[in-house]
Amino acid sequence: MTTAPTHWTDFDKLYNLPDPRPYFRGVETGDYRMPGVMASALRRLIPVLAAGGGEPVKLIDFAAGYGAVGLCLRTGQSMTGLYDYFRTDASTIEDAARFADMRAKGGSVAPHQIDAVDIADRALDYARTCGAIDAAHTDNLVLGPPGPALNDALRSADLVYECGAIGDHVSTAMSALLAAAAPNRPILLLSPRPRVDLAPLQAALAGQGYGLKTAVPGIRYRRAFSPSEMREELAAGIRNGYAAEECTVGDYFRVDLRLAVPEERDSEPLLQALSGLAHDTL
């Protein structure tokens, strides 16, 4: 981009390029932090999910884009570290080699597999080439049911996560995802901002026997790209029943990390694992 973005819709042309640099350089202007926060959450949850089992923990990265969560998780980088890296031009082959080196030095993470879902096929190709994800699926769950490959992944998934990218479509997408996963009942780790009406999501999850709990409140998501975008965010949050001050943390959009757990499962070990997240990342 030749100028800083003023609204999230400015990224429509940047979200599915072969080179992720225009995207990362754009979101850096708002200090977008959520993939790094999600990676920190996963570092705490994966050992809990792995307890007592010998298989890698199976994760679904929903609306994965260029695989920023996987890059942060597997290299130990924060989003700040990724922003620093992507300021310099390089080829995808060079990126893949550099990230492989970072993964080797990034600290141990319990064995896991990441299946990524996004309609942005070129972004997913980049993420897979650079080792941020293990498998890619371009199914659009808002428009229809998943295909056989994603179905198989969902039926063995332990946890599905998303970083707040799908907005008001979250209830439709999660309903389709859980229906496809059945009889498997994966945990969901979701990041809806106050601008998203939670009522449809809560109703959809309750209909499938899931409870939605706030695991980590008051996370700094990113700064507004413009005063008008901030006004829009506050107005949407107020329509959804929040006070204006509940929609932000300082000059950042606020997001609460929410955990959706099947009613037959004890959520306490998961909530306890996330209890220290605030001290590290908020």
Give per-residue pLDDT as tens, 179-194.
999 999 999 999 999 9
Identify each DSSP E strand in 105-239 by its residue range.
112-117, 135-137, 159-161, 187-190, 210-223
Which residue matches tokens 């499938």? 208
pLDDT tens digit sequence for 191-250? 999 999 999 999 999 999 999 999 999 999 999 989 999 999 999 999 999 999 999 999
pLDDT at 87 over 70: yes
Type and span of the H or E element at 253? strand 252-262
Two tokens at 248?
Answer: 């932000």
Of 211, 208, 230, the closest CA to residue 221 belongs to: 230
pLDDT tens digit sequence for 167-181? 778 899 999 999 999
Q: What does the pLDDT read at residue 13?
A: 77
Peptide linkage before 183 cis (omega within 30 of 0): yes
Under the banding of pLDDT at 50, 70 and 90, the label for residue 278 is low
- Cβ pair 261, 36 in contact under 8 A: no
pLDDT at 2 over 60: no
> What would the mean pLDDT of 157-161 be, rounded to a whole number?
97
Of 65, 129, 59, the closest CA to residue 99 belongs to: 129
CA distances from 138 to 64, 193, 253 (A): 10, 24, 29
Q: What does the pLDDT read at residue 3?
A: 59
